[in-house]
Amino acid sequence: MIDRLNEKTLMLEKALDAAWLRNEAISNNIANVNTPGYKKSYVKFEELLEDAVDKFQISGIKKDDKFLPIGKDTLASITPVTVQEKFTSMRRDKNNVDIDVEMAELAKNSIKYNALIAQMSKEFSKIKYAINGR
């Protein structure tokens, strides 16, 4: 029964990890805004979640974690993916970092992170309330 307490927060935990990783990618983009030839990288997570939820797909059941999955995985096994945008250019020196977009992404990501933290705290408060009765 104790592991069922963790179900709700598992997804939040993954989203938090993805947001932290995204923050790192954005920091790297900002640090390299003036580096010639640098290509920006970004982190995909929410789109992967959407894909997994929306589409009806064949999925296989794994007897053991070490087997390769068939079809779409369960929600629990989606990990964030870092992508490098190699084929665009903003300037003549082939750098494709747009500082305005990066700052906006930074703000958005920060807000998303705070919202996830608030949600997670509420989940734990609920559990504590159930345990204490008040």
Site track 15-54 with other proteins (rule: CB under 8 A), x = hit: -x--xxx-xxxxxx-xxxxxxx-x--x-x-----------
CB proximity list for 106: less than 8 A, separation 6 or greater: 23, 26, 30
Contact between residue 43 and residue 81 where contact means Cβ atoms under 8 Å apart: yes
For 70, half-sphere exposure in the C-beta direction (CA atoms, 13 angstrom radius) is 7
At 55, give phi and psi (nearest 5°).
Answer: -80, 145
Is the Cβ of residue 53 or residue 83 nearer to other proteins in the bound state?
Answer: 83
CB proximity list for 117: less than 8 A, separation 6 or greater: 16
Interface with other proteins, residue 102, by CB under 8 A? yes
Q: For other proteins, how many residues bind (rule: CB under 8 A)?
A: 39
Interface residues for other proteins in 65-94 (CB under 8 A)?
79-84
Binding site for other proteins (CB under 8 A): 16, 19-21, 23-28, 30-36, 38, 41, 43, 79-84, 99, 102-103, 106-107, 110, 113-114, 117, 120-121, 124-125
